[in-house]
Every structure is written in structure tokens, then in C-alpha cells.
A and B are shown apart, each in its own frame.
Chain A
Amino acid sequence: MTEPHDRRRGETGPPAQHGRRRLIGLVAAITATVAILGTLGYFWFASLVPSTYSVMDLGYAEGGGDPTTGHAHGGLSIATLTGPDSRPDVAVTLIAREESYALASGERVTGYTVNHTSPGPLVRATVGQLVEVTLVNDDVSDGVSLHWHGVDVPNAEDGVAGVTQDAVAPGGSHVYRFRAEQPGTYWYHSHQASEEQVMGGLYGALVVDPRQPAAGQNDVVVPVHTYAGRRAAAGRTGTQRIVATPGDQVRLRLIDTDSAPLRATVTGTPYRVVAVDGRDLNGPTDVTDPAVVVAAGGRVDLGVTVPTDGKAVRLDLGAGSAVLVGPPSAADPGPRESAATLDLLSYGTPRPTELVTAAQHPDRTFELSVGRRPAFVDGRPGLFWTMNGHTFPDVPMFMVRYGDVVVMTVKSSSSQPHPMHLHGHHALVLSRDGVAASGSPWWTDSLEVENGQSYVVAFRADNPGIWLDHCHNLKHAADGMIAHVAYEGYTTPYRVGGSAGNDPE
């Protein structure tokens, strides 16, 4: 193994030269060490996140083509952007607890509940009604908050600890008020220590009914959640029956409350995708085979007609979870998982949308490109997500002005799908991978961006405040996949960390 050349190296030449060579060697060794440790030390130090900070100081501002834009400092406090204070039409008290509880199907889970159940109570309102929810934290030691996922509420009602409010400490309470404006399927969940709390069960469904509900329609709310490896639909594992009469129209409101996309397969009858993320689709057509994918955090409403052939409609939600809709004795068509996927980009009927025209001359153009690389985040080494090449806390803050038309390209080259959730706004999908949307207008607040995909979406900046734009794979969010959309002239008085212990992710 040893080589004679190696053995003799360093031992030739006169002693003086010999000593100098050793010295040069030592200097080189020290230089190399300092260079390596210095570089790593710099990256390590630069990645440290202060124990308390304002998101207003986080990362860097992107102007989206407006050179006058910088990080906003000062301005109107978003705490003033509250909902109406008239008499509420729907008043609900939701009490969060940290406890061991039984699912509707019997399995015991240790985690979090709302009013002693998970999912928490369904909150239901009609368009135009003022909803008032009093959140009480009974004993959740980390504190809690409630985010109204998909509802474009005024900023101070958005429920993000450290950004739009302080986390509610045990024994404390917080009142949320907002008007139900758009009919559709939504959900609520904690946005304090959300990875831990949402996973543990601190969530529930929220439905806004239109003023004139569709006559003779059965309405079934199906929040899907995986509790410690047990996938449950509306809190029940396994196969459950929803009783309906042959010929009935049924609206199945699917909510994916997990961190990964949900594939739902319908068997026994054709289905229609009647709404996505709380927005009705235009001219939905019958689909027979393909599965529909619900983005993590997203909602998809399916319309089915209970068949008259004596069989039930079967909705497979993966991992052994299924819903049968039909008479109690209706035959089960059997489990099925379709390999095909319905593409919403070309589904339904186009309809002229003012935003599509406006987006041809946007006021702001942003790109949100997700990658992954070895890095330090808060001093911790690992393979971390990057947004526009930066890791947390050096995240982008997309600056907008009220009334701006914003076009954003969202893409992933990070090997994994990312369900990007923009708070307070609905974005319209314009294209994917260069192919223009050709179906119904597809409005979304939770868009699953798969690896290698590039979506172009547009939204109107019509809801002032400081909003999160983050990955709803909550593990990814906890690892720093959080950007913000901030309106110029607004600031938040709340801080992440600090005495309230705010930890939005």
C-alpha cells in the first residue's frame, strides 16, 4: 500500500529548506482550515433566526417590477383591519384542548380537540351572514389560533399567530368576526405551532351556503385527516355509509386537512367537480374514471347522483378510507383507486374572466421558485427548501399595492410537490408549463405544484394586510417554506416569538 515516493517526500534537500517547507505546509494547513471553517461558520451564523422578530423585517422585499418598492416600515397597523362589529348572525364558541380522545369510529388518539371532538364542530353560515367565533384556549400549553383557510377574511381575522394576532394562551380567548361572502367549502385550523396542532386534530370544517340553496340536494361534508397513521373521513376510519335515496343529487365536500395531496376515486356513477377551493366551476361535465386530486389544504366539491341500479356510490379516499352513498342496503361496488387523474386545467367550460384580460398588463410580476439544497436553517444543517434560491429566514416578501393586478409564476424543482397556500386571496390559474388554462375559470387558494411544474396564476390585490404565502405541507412550512404578500403602507404590531410565544408554523 505504501509508496516509496510518499515515504521520502519532505525529507529531501538541505535542512534549512526542509524547515521552510514544513512552515509553508503548516501555513497552508491553517489557511485551508480557516477557509473551510470560516465559510461554514459564516453560513451557520447567517442562518440563525432571532428568538423574536417581526415578519416585516424578514428576508427581502421583491417589488415585482416596481423599482420604488422596498421593505415596508411603519404604516397602518393591520390590527385595525377587523371584520364588521354589528350583531352576528352566526355565533359559535370553539374551545381548544390538548387531550386524548376517541375518533367517531372508536380509535383513541392523543392530540388536540375543538369542543372535545376532532374534527371540531361544523361552522355553517349563509352568504351575507356575519360569523362570530369565540376561540377559547382551555389548556393548550403552546397557545392556539384559528385560521379560516380559504376565506378571504379581513387581515386581522386571519388567525396567524405572530403575524395577525398573538397566540391565545391557556385560559385566554379571541373573537373572530367576518362576513360570509362566497359560498363554498372551507376549513379552520390552528395557525400556532400548526404542524403539531393540525396534525393532532385541531381543525374543523366551515361551509358557506348560497342565499338560495340548490333544492333537493344532499350535502355531505367530508374533511379527510390522517390521525397517527389512521385516515379518517369526517372523523371515521374505514368504510362509512351516508344514507341517500336513488336518484338523489349529493354534494360531497372534500377537504384535505393532511400535508400530502389526496387522491379521491368515485366508483358506481359519474361525478362532476362542482367547486374547487370555495369557487364553483363553470359547466362541469361528467367524469367516469379518473381520480380527482385535492391539494393539501384544498377543497373539492363533487356532485354525484345516487344510481338507481341498487348500488351505492363509492368514494375511495386512500389508506382504507371510503364513503358509500346510497340506501342502507345498497351494494358496495368495491374499492378502486384510479391511476388516471382529472386535469382541472382543461375541465369545464371557459367563461370570460376580467382578470385574464387584466393579467396581460400586470402591475406586479413575481416568481416563486421552490428548490432544495444542503443548507443551515437556524443553525441546523440539512437538505432544506429554498424559495427563489434562499432558505429561511431569507425569504421573499412580495410587495403589492391595493388594486394591483399581480401575476405570479409558481414552480418547483425540488423533487417534491408543494401545496402553495396564499392567505386572504383567491388566485386564478392562467397556465401550467406554458399551456393556457382551457376549462372553467379555476380559482384556487391551495395549489398543488408538483415537481417540475410551473404554474402562472393571477390575483387582484384587493384585501390589504400582511399575508402568508406558504407551503401547506406543514412540515415544509415548519422548515421555513413561508413567504409573505405584504401591502405597502401596512405593518403588523405582532411578532413571532416574544412573550406570546408566537410560532405560526
Chain B
Amino acid sequence: MRATYVWLSRLIAIGVVLQAMFIAFGMFDIIKAVDDGKAYTSDAYNAGQSLHSIFGSIIIPLLALILLIISFFAGIPGGTKWAAITFGLVALQFALAAVSFGVPFIGLLHGLNAFALAAVAGIAGRRAQTATPRARPEAVTPA
């Protein structure tokens, strides 16, 4: 349980790193298209942006959700708290993205919050690794 928690938190941090890579790919792709004289329009397909959207709206939220649920059972001191903060930052990241489509400079905060998310996920994992477990609830066999 604890190992799963640790690995999930690591995967979230890795996910954030991938997101930064995808968006850089997407951005350079747009710049190249425009430099080649192509029009980057509402209809345009952008692989980097697509991956960013899949990871951001499906994969990372799913990992954060599983981390939160695992934390209920893992008996890691502060485990639920840090998983909840991680989940909260994922939700905030959604909200910042939604606003940024209309007010692009809010995207700066979306970028900043990404680092906060990676850091918090990292802290959650590190704490889980080093903290001594409290008596874990699953040790009890319900009659």
C-alpha cells in the first residue's frame, strides 16, 4: 500500500515533467508551422497540445484520485493530507487552464502551479517513504 502510494506520487511528479515537455513540443510545432507559412487555426491539430490535454484532463487527475483513495488505507502519517493537497492542486490546475483560454497571462500561474504540484507530489512520496507507519487499518480483519 505504502509502495503504491510512493509510486503514484512519483508518477504524478513525472506526469508534470511530461506535461512541460509536451507543451514545449506543441509550442515549437506551432512556431514552425507559422514560420512555414501555415495558418495555426482553431481547426489545427497539434500533437503536443493533444497529449497535454489527455495527460492533464485524464491521466494526472486519475493518478491523483487513486493516490487520495490509497492514502485512506495506507496508514501513512499525513498521507491523506498530502494526497489531498496534491489532488487540490490538480483541481486548481484545471481551473487555471479554464481561465487561461480567455485570459492567456493566467497561463503563467498554470505553469507555476505545475511546479507546486510536482513539489507537493514529491513531498508526499518522500514523507511516505521516511515516516514510520501508524497502525494500519487494514491490519484489522473485520469479523
- Interface positions of A (Cβ within 8 A of B): 1-3, 6-7, 9-11, 18-19, 22-23, 25-26, 28-30, 32-33, 36-37, 40, 199, 226, 228-231, 258-260, 296, 318-321, 372-374, 380-383, 414-416, 451-452, 473-475
Contacts and interface: CB of A to CB of B under 8 A. Distances in A.
A29 B142 CA distance: 14
Contacts of B41: 226, 229, 231, 258-260, 319
Contacts of A321: 39
Contacts of B73: 26, 29, 33
Nearest to B103: A415
Lowest 3 A-B CB distances belong to which pairs? A415-B102, A319-B39, A229-B38
Interface in B121-143: 126-127, 130-132, 134-135, 137-140, 142
Interface of B: 33, 37-44, 53, 57-58, 61, 65, 68-69, 72-73, 75, 77-78, 94, 97-103, 126-127, 130-132, 134-135, 137-140, 142
B39 A318 contact: yes
A36 B58 CA distance: 16
A478 to B, nearest CB: 11
Nearest to A34: B69
A40 B65 CA distance: 10
13 contacts: A6-B77, A6-B131, A22-B137, A26-B73, A36-B69, A226-B43, A230-B37, A231-B41, A319-B41, A374-B94, A382-B53, A383-B98, A474-B43
A7 B77 contact: yes
A229 B33 CA distance: 8
Contact of B39 (A199, A320, A416, A475): A320
Given A2-B131, A9-B77, A258-B42, 11 more contacts: A1-B131, A2-B127, A6-B134, A23-B140, A30-B72, A40-B65, A229-B40, A231-B39, A258-B43, A260-B42, A415-B102
Contact of A473 (B37, B39, B42, B101): B42
A40 B139 CA distance: 28
A229 B45 CA distance: 9
B101 A2 contact: no
A320 B126 CA distance: 53
B134 A11 contact: yes
Contact of A26 (B53, B98, B100, B138): B138
B98 A415 contact: yes
Given A36-B68, A229-B41, A9 B97 contact: no
Interface centre among B37, B39, B61, B139 (most CB of A within 10 A): B39
A22 B133 CA distance: 13
B85 to A, nearest CB: 15
A23 B42 contact: no
B101 A415 contact: yes
Q: In the complex, which of the residues B77, B97, B100 has the most CB atoms of chain A within 10 Å of its own CB atom?
A: B77
Contact of A1 (B38, B68, B130): B130
* Most chain B CB inside 10 Å of its own CB: which residue of A199, A229, A475: A229
B43 A199 contact: yes
B134 A10 contact: yes
A238 to B, nearest CB: 9
A32 B72 contact: yes
Given A2-B132, A229-B44, A373 B140 contact: no
